[in-house]
Amino acid sequence: MEVVKTGLFRAAYFMYANTSVGYYYHSHNLATAEKKFKSIEKKAHSKEISFTYGNVQLHVIPFCLDNYAYIIVDLLCNSALIVDPGDATPVLEFFERNSNFQPIAILCTHKHWDHCAGNGELLERYPEIEIFASEDDGAYLSNRTFRDTEELHFHQPFTSAKVVAYEMPGHTVGHALYCLTPLSTHSSGDENAIKGNMESETELSIQRGLNDSFSNLQVYQYEKVIPRIICEEAFKANDGTSSELRKDSKYQSLLFTGDCVFLNGIGNMFECPSVVMAATLQRIVDIFPENTLVLPGHEYTHTMVRFTLQEVDPENPVLKQRLDTILRQRADNLPTVPAELRIEKQCNPFLRTSYLSTHHKAYLQKSSSDIVEILAEKKAKFTKELNAKGSSKSNSANSIS
Ligand SMILES: [Zn+2]
């Protein structure tokens, strides 16, 4: 992208990613967000929500202008993992409210401060906490690393799910994805997390929103498209249907994608050429099952869907339906996460380069990396114009993601 290629931008990016200048920039954004949401009597850009998958509980923690951190609790041993705590405050508040849960590890997708600035305070409060990040990125205060596709093992018990780390360069050189697969308590231990996930039988239910008055069902009453399996199971789970009728329900893997893949979009390619990002995106499409739930680091879905409808794929019926769903979710301040990879493959243009190269005249015969490059340039122009028009910051992609 042009903006990434200029010398001035490269210098500014280096300062952001590698020096305390970035930390102060992020701190400024945190203060701006606090002021902004206080002035409109909101706690954050979105409501906190949570889900339960078997013995794993997922909490979606909104912070800053549009970031998400995630807390995953093993309900069997009450230990918890934290994904991308760019701000320690809402995470510490969560553990104050839920003092029976013990944080044992932080999973950092990448080194940008809005994904790891909270590591310091959390390490101070929980000195035993392990902080995982790829060796290439070396996120702030990280003390554990991994190889590509390595299953993570923690010093303290975390028995209800299997966590595998993947090196997925594109946004940064050392960007990581974490795939968490809840394990069946009835299983004798499945060595293949993803395939095992598809085989498992369990019940699935939706938990309460932590600080909200809306009911469990209301969270998903708008969900016509995403994520259908959760929606169906949620309704079954709440209408008193016997567990016998829910035998078909499956565990779904949770894929924490940071700033690599957003819902209906991708992050900026700050440190890698489009050929690297294109290879990463193809790998994601190839190796994860379609019912994998995608959990990105930002709430950008509305902007990404608008961009795709306006600039790339105006006749896509699934995308049109997705826009309706998202508008209703955002009107209620609900997160648009998670979404099934199946939906991303139907809507996210960056994951549809093969389709575009054979069906869309603007992209015919072009390589995946060329299409990713073109789409990224279009997306940057679109968000720049949107920001110039003074559109809501919470619905637009900022410069560091
Ligand atoms: Zn980033």
The answer to whether residue 401 sits within a structural domain is no
Angle at 48 (CA atoms; ends 45, 53), nearest 5 degrees: 140
The answer to whether residue 247 sits within a structural domain is yes
| 239, pLDDT greater than 50 | no
Beta bridge partners of 206: 51
Question: How many structural domains compose the chain?
Answer: 1
The boundaries of the domain holding residue 69 are: 2-395
Distance 29 CA to ligand 1 centre (A): 14
Query: 65-103, pLDDT tens digit by residue?
Result: 999 999 999 999 999 999 999 999 999 999 999 999 999
Please state the rounded mean pLDDT for residues 340-364. Answer: 96
The answer to whether residue 230 sits within a structural domain is yes
The answer to whether residue 100 sits within a structural domain is yes
Q: What are the tokens at 32?
A: 């701006």
Distance 384 CA to ligand 1 centre (A): 17
Distance 214 CA to ligand 1 centre (A): 32
The answer to whether residue 400 sits within a structural domain is no
Q: pLDDT band at residue 192, thresholds of 50, 70 and 90?
A: very low
CATH number at residue 374: 3.60.15.10
Rounded distance between C-alpha atoms, residue 258 and residue 271, angstroms: 15
Q: Are strands 161-167 and 150-151 parallel, antiparallel or unpaired?
A: antiparallel
Q: What are the tokens at 239?
A: 């209408």
Distance 264 CA to ligand 1 centre (A): 16
Report pLDDT for 243.
30
Distance 15 CA to ligand 1 centre (A): 14
Rounded distance between C-alpha atoms, residue 263 and residue 256, angstroms: 12
Of the chain, the percentage scoring pLDDT greater than 70 comes to: 80
Angle at 160 (CA atoms; ends 156, 344), nearest 5 degrees: 115
Q: pLDDT band at residue 356, thresholds of 50, 70 and 90?
A: very high
Distance 371 CA to ligand 1 centre (A): 22
Phi, psi for 80 (deg, rounded to 5):
-135, 145
Report pLDDT for 269.
97
Distance 1 CA to ligand 1 centre (A): 16
Of the chain, the percentage scoring pLDDT greater than 90 comes to: 74
Q: What are the tokens at 198?
A: 């598809």
Distance 52 CA to ligand 1 centre (A): 28
Report pLDDT for 205.
32
Angle at 222 (CA atoms; ends 55, 391), nearest 5 degrees: 110
The answer to whether residue 160 sits within a structural domain is yes
Whole-prediction pTM value?
A: 0.84
Query: 258-311, pLDDT tens digit by residue?
Result: 999 999 999 999 999 999 999 999 999 999 999 999 999 999 999 999 999 999
CB atoms within 10 A of CB 210: 16
Distance 289 CA to ligand 1 centre (A): 25
**Average predicted confidence (pLDDT) for the chain:** 84
Rounded distance between C-alpha atoms, residue 249 and residue 233, angstroms: 7
Distance 400 CA to ligand 1 centre (A): 6
> Comparing 136-150, 249-263, 375-389, which segment has the lowest mean pLDDT?
249-263
The answer to whether residue 328 sits within a structural domain is yes
Distance 377 CA to ligand 1 centre (A): 17
Distance 283 CA to ligand 1 centre (A): 20
Residue that the structure tokens 């390619």 belong to: 269
